[in-house]
Every structure is written in C-alpha cells, then in structure tokens.
Amino acid sequence: MITKTFRYRLLPNKEQTQIIRENAEAARRVYNHFLKEWQRSRETAGLGLSFHYFTRQLQLIYRQKFENRNIDYGLLQNQYYELEKIFQKASRNRKAVIREKTPGYACSLHYGKNYEKFLVSLDNDHISLPIIGKMKYVNSRQREGRLAEIIVTGRPDGKFYLSLTCYATATPLEPTGKAIGLDLGLKDLVVMSDGRKFRNPCYGRVLRKKLSRERRRLSQLENNNIDHYEETSKDGKLIRTAVYRRPLTECRNYQKQRIKAADVEERVADSRRDFEQKLSTYLIRNYDVICVEDLPIGVLKQKRNVAYALADASWYHFISMLEYKANWYGRKVIKVNRYFPSSQLCSRCGYRNRLIKNLDYREWVCPQCGMKHDRDVNAARNILREGLRSCRYETLPSGQAGSSKGRLS
C-alpha cells in the first residue's frame, strides 16, 4: 500500500482565515509545551509521555486557556501523534534534531490520525471542518484511493492549501531496460549521464534580482523600526535581540512588504516545484534505475551563491520525490555515498584527478586516456557506474548508450 497526496488551493473567507491561524497557533503552543515535558520524561524516566497523561494535562490547559475561544480540542489532542512520530524518528536516527516550533507567518493544521472525527463533509468543491465551517476549494485534480489524512496549510503570502493524502495501490510500469546517473547542481539542476542538462528555472537573473530587492526593502523597513538592541547571555554566548518601537505586526508598510517578498519567494518555489514534478515523472517513466548522490556536496560548497538561498533544501525534496515516485511505479532509485569522488574520477579509465576538486574546472582532459570531459556529465557517469556497482549490477542494462536527446516538455 502506498500513499499519494493531492494538493488543492483552499479559499477560506476572512473569518475562517483568522480561525485557522488561531488554531494553528494553539496547536503550536501545545506542541512546544509537551515537547519539553516529553524530553524531560525521557531523561528522567527513560520513557515518553503516555496518551492518558497527555490528555489529562491537555484538558487542564484547554480549560484554562482555550475553552471560550474558537479552538478545536481534537486538533490539539492530535499533537500527541505528531510528537510520538517525532520521537520515534529520533530514536531511530541519533542525528535527528528535535526542535520547538517557532511562530511564523506560515501555519498548518494536521487532521492526521482520526481525521474522520473532524471531517464533516467533503464534496467536489467544498470541505467542511468543525469550528472552521464550510470552505470552498479548487478541485484541480481527480483524487484516487481512500482518504487517510487532511492537512490545511497557510503560506506566508496569504494563500491557503488543502492536502488530501490517500491510500492508493502501486502500479508498476513496464521495464525499459535503461539506467541513468544524475549530477545535481545549481545552474543546471540536473545533468544526466547521457549528456543532457536541465537548467534550473529559478536561476534566472530577473527573478533573483527581484527577490533580493524585495528582501532588502523588507529588512530596511525592519531596521527603521528598531529602537535599540538588548544583550543577554546564554550558555556563555552573547545574544543580541532587537527591540522594536512598535510590534512588527502593527507596522502596515512592513506587513505589505512582507507579503510582497513572500509572494516572490512562493512564485520561485512554485515554478521550481512544477519543474521538479515534470522532470521526476519523466525520469521515472523512462528509466528503471536512477542513480543519484545522496547529498549534492558540490552544491554545498557554493553556499555563498545567491541562488543557494533559493535552492536550499530542495535537492532533498527532488530526491525524495524521485524515491516516492519510484515506489509508486516499481522503479529503483540508488543513492550513491556523498563521499564518492564523482567529479574527480575519469569516467572512461578511472584515473583520479584531484585538481578537479576546484569548482572552476568546468572542462578537463584526462591525462591518462586523453578523454575530454565536461565536469558535470563526467560526474553523472561516475554516479551511474558507482550506483550500479553498489547494487551489483555487473553491466549496464542494455539501451543505455545513445538514448534519444528528447527535451522535457
């Protein structure tokens, strides 16, 4: 059984928007409160909180703080499952960081487990949830499978989305007998082992300039409003926090600019997401095996690049997109160890050229076999070979060489 998520634009009215935000804020506070308790309990008793204890405490908090407001009790109760999930993950992976949720302009409501008790009705263009009431949504995609989860999210630019996760059945695609290696980058988001390159749609100069301009204006407005700084020391470190003349939520120009900046950011993210969806679908349709670095380390070296801010975590996103689609359609994604020197090896004879560590070498000639390499294509070829080797594919599946130079539409 697999899950698929369908996302729709949600159109709450002004009053509903306010209720969504209040509920998200209440859920956030409950989450943070019990996160601390959970950690304390793990340290002292070696165990997390029980659902029974959680509920009893939550009832007290609810009566004191939330009862006479438009807050959904069940939504707060669901925070238990969120916390349970986080701590389970943390016990499997030692490196996982458990953080409090910080307040922000984005918000989300998770009607996860037990969503049935929340859902009043769901039809072709309306969803009805308790307390929030009946909301219109844009039914842009046909949903399939049985509903498993409902998430309402609000983005900083003021738009709302409805995500419906459903249980669906996997439908394996016909094998194609082809494998491909991918090198991920900034300017070219994906370079393939057959020599094709797909340019990052967000790398455009105009959009980058616009984004940095809007962000600069926003920080100017913020700076104008700072009265002075307060210094506190925590764990021996000096922390400077700004004290505002007026709270930022009351500064109309700041808020206007914030939405403007968020709007550009979201447009960047949207076009990137769209591109990633199309590219990952194309790859999954056409290749049985896709080899990729588990973390594009070459990219991390370019941190100072402006585009990095745009791209940030989205390689992880792209890789996980490939992985879940592979899962749906019976394909295989192989992640190559990040310390594999993919760009330094010659993909023909295996000679290791340590000079190529330097990112300035876009093209190089192998001193041993004389082959001329494009840095990224060579890396993609090495990733392909290493991926197949690590999974004990002795030879490349047939049809690998000279595949068509079709373009992504």
Residues of this chain that interact with Zn ion (CB under 5 A) are: 346, 348-349, 351, 366, 368-369
Yes or no: say if 281 and 331 are a contact pair by the CB < 8 Å rule.
no
Question: Rounded to whole angstroms, how far apart are CA atoms 393 and 397?
Answer: 8
Among 340, 344, 360, 343, CA closest to 352: 344
Buried-state track 280-301, b at ≥16 Cβ within 10 A, e below 16: beebbebbbbbbbbebbebbee
Minimum distance of Zn ion from residue 363's CB (angstroms): 14
The neighbouring-strand residues paired with 234 are 237
Nearer to Zn ion, 8 or 340 (CB): 340
Question: Rounded to whole angstroms, how far apart are CA atoms 131 and 16?
Answer: 9
Nearer to Zn ion, 369 or 391 (CB): 369
Minimum distance of Zn ion from residue 190's CB (angstroms): 24
Nearer to Zn ion, 91 or 368 (CB): 368
* Residue that has been written with the tokens 């009053």 in this structure: 15
Yes or no: say if 261 and 214 are a contact pair by the CB < 8 Å rule.
yes
Minimum distance of Zn ion from residue 346's CB (angstroms): 3
Minimum distance of Zn ion from residue 9's CB (angstroms): 52
The identity of residue 304, as a single letter, is R
Minimum distance of Zn ion from residue 349's CB (angstroms): 3
Question: Rounded to whole angstroms, how far apart are CA atoms 311 and 315?
Answer: 8
Nearer to Zn ion, 258 or 381 (CB): 381
Minimum distance of Zn ion from residue 374's CB (angstroms): 14
CA distance to 43, 301, 337, 374, per residue, from 346 (Å): 51, 21, 18, 10
Minimum distance of Zn ion from residue 347's CB (angstroms): 8
Nearer to Zn ion, 301 or 389 (CB): 389
In residues, how long is the chain? Answer: 409
Minimum distance of Zn ion from residue 350's CB (angstroms): 7
Minimum distance of Zn ion from residue 395's CB (angstroms): 20
Nearer to Zn ion, 96 or 349 (CB): 349
* Residue that has been written with the tokens 């999954």 in this structure: 284
Nearer to Zn ion, 369 or 408 (CB): 369
> 110: helix, coil or strand?
strand
The neighbouring-strand residues paired with 289 are 179, 332
CA distance to 181, 199, 292, 331, 386, per residue, from 391 (Å): 14, 29, 13, 14, 9
Q: Residue 315 is encoded by which pair of tokens?
A: 């390689």
Nearer to Zn ion, 239 or 349 (CB): 349
CA distance to 55, 112, 185, 284, per residue, from 59 (Å): 6, 20, 50, 48
Nearer to Zn ion, 153 or 378 (CB): 378
* Residue that has been written with the tokens 């016990």 in this structure: 91
